[in-house]
Amino acid sequence: MSYGIKAYKAVGIKDDLAVADPHRVIQLLMLGALENMAKAKGCIERKDYAGKSAALSKAMTIIAALQNSLDMDAGEISDNLFALYDFMQNHLILASREKSIAKIDDVLELLVTIKGAWDQIPVHARQEGYEMQAQKQQRTA
């Protein structure tokens, strides 16, 4: 990819993040993880192992950020997502060590499913979630 396209894409993401609500930030994080896993697969195919390591490292960092953003007081859903994100990180470590496209595909499939569900959350439910989070923060302050 040319420098100009990379720079344009980076600015576009920064601009999107600057005005993004929390729901959109999570969408962008998921997208970033998916893109980095796709890059890692290409690197493995080209035997670019330094590129593979860099891309998988970014994907794992993003997945850790998603895991850390969970509201663990929310119950079973948060617990299940925490375990899934943990599985994804461990599976990507194995994928990196084994140079396994299949293991990356396992994680891609899981994250695409989670992202698909996240993308389906209606606007009114998002707003209710923001309000509940604000009330929770007020109680703890």
Question: Digits of tens for pLDDT over the chain (141 positions)?
Answer: 445 445 445 545 556 655 578 899 999 999 999 999 999 999 999 999 999 999 999 999 999 999 999 989 888 999 999 999 999 999 999 999 999 999 999 999 999 999 999 999 999 888 888 888 888 888 887
Rounded distance between C-alpha atoms, residue 74 and residue 76, angstroms: 7
In 10 A of CB 109, how many CB atoms?
A: 10
Question: Are residues 60 and 92 in contact, defined by beta-carbon separation less than 8 angstroms?
Answer: yes
Tell me, what's the pLDDT at 4?
A: 46
Tell me, what's the pLDDT at 14?
A: 58
Tell me, what's the pLDDT at 115?
A: 97
CATH 1.10.287.70 for the 3-140 domain, yes or no: no
Q: Whose CA is closest to 40, among 63, 9, 24? A: 63
Listed by start position, the domains of the chain span 3-140
What is the pTM for the complete model shown? 0.82
Tell me, what's the pLDDT at 84?
A: 97
Cβ-Cβ contacts under 8 Å for 137 (sequence gap 6 or more): none
